[in-house]
Amino acid sequence: MAETHYAPLNSAFPFVTSYKTGCSSLPEISRSTERALKEGKLLELVFGVKETVATLSQIPVTIFVTGDSGNGMSSFINALRIIGHEEDASAPTGVVRTTQVRAEYSSPQFPNVVLWDLPGLGATAQTVESYMEEMKFSTCDLVIIITSEQFSSNHMKLSKIIQSMGKRFYIVWTKLDRDLSRSALSEIRLLQDIQENIRENLQKERVKEPPIFLVSNLDPLLHDFPKLRDTLHKDLSNIRCCEPLKTLDGIYAKILGDKVAVWNQRIANECLRNSLGVSDDNDMGECLKMYRLIFGVDDESLQQVAQSMGTVLMEYKANMKSQNFDTLRREDWKLKLMTCVVVKAFFCLFGFLPGLSCCLRRMKHKRMLLLVAQDTKNILERILRDCVFPPQI
Residues 6+ apart with CB under 8 A from 223: 176, 214, 215, 216
CA distance 121 to 131: 7
Predicted local confidence at residue 296, as pLDDT? 95
Total number of residues shown for the chain:
393
CA 19, 25, 28: angle at the middle one, nearest 5?
Answer: 110
CA distance 183 to 179: 6
60-223 under CATH 3.40.50.970, yes or no: no
Residue 34 has pLDDT above 50, yes or no: yes
> Which has more pLDDT, 122 or 384?
384
Sorted by where each begins, the domain ranges of the chain are: 60-223, 242-388
Segment 344-360 mean pLDDT = 63
> Which has more pLDDT, 84 or 321?
321
CA distance 297 to 145: 46
Predicted local confidence at residue 90, as pLDDT? 59
Closest CA to 19 of 194, 300, 240, 319: 240
CA distance 242 to 191: 33
Tell me the pLDDT band of 21, cut-offs 50, 70 and 90: very low
Tell me the pLDDT band of 185, cut-offs 50, 70 and 90: confident
pLDDT tens by residue, 136-152: 999 999 999 999 888 88
pTM for this model (two decimals)? 0.78
Please, are residues 214 and 176 in contact by the beta-carbon 8 Å criterion?
yes
Residue 287 has pLDDT above 60, yes or no: yes
CA distance 245 to 386: 12
3-state secondary structure the chain: CCCCCCCCCCCCCCCCCCCCCCCCCHHHHHHHHHHHHHCCCHHHHHHHHHHHHHHHCCCCEEEEEEEECCCCHHHHHHHHCCCCCCCCCCCCCCCCCCCCCCEEEEECCEEEEEEEECCCECCCCCCHHHHHHHHCHHHCCEEEEEEECECCHHHHHHHHHHHHCCCEEEEEECCHHHHHHHCCCCHHHHHHHHHHHHHHHHHHCCCCCCCEEECCCCCCCCCCHHHHHHHHHHHHHHHHHHHHHHHHHHHHHHHHHHHHHHHHHHHHCCCHHHHHHCCCCCCHHHHHHHHHHHHCCCHHHHHHHHHHHCCCHHHHHCCCHHHCHHHHHHHCHHHHHHCCHHHHHHHHHCCCCCCHHHHHHHHHHHHHHHHHHHHHHHHHHHHHHHHHCCCCC
> Which has more pLDDT, 140 or 22?
140
Predicted local confidence at residue 195, as pLDDT? 94
CA distance 389 to 377: 18
Segment 177-185 mean pLDDT = 88
Residue 86 has pLDDT above 80, yes or no: no
Predicted local confidence at residue 308, as pLDDT? 93
Please, are residues 382 and 10 in contact by the beta-carbon 8 Å criterion?
no
Residue 7 has pLDDT above 80, yes or no: no
Tell me the pLDDT band of 96, cut-offs 50, 70 and 90: very low
Residue 313 has pLDDT above 70, yes or no: yes
Tell me the pLDDT band of 11, cut-offs 50, 70 and 90: very low
The order of strands in the sheet holding 61-67 is 103-107, 110-117, 61-67, 142-147, 168-173, 212-214
Looking from the CA of 70 toward its CB, the CA atoms found within 13 Å total 6
Residue 198 has pLDDT above 50, yes or no: yes
CB-neighbour burial class of residue 131 (10 A; exposed 0-12, middle 13-18, buried 19+) = buried
Predicted local confidence at residue 293, as pLDDT? 95
Please, are residues 252 and 377 in contact by the beta-carbon 8 Å criterion?
yes
Predicted local confidence at residue 22, as pLDDT? 43
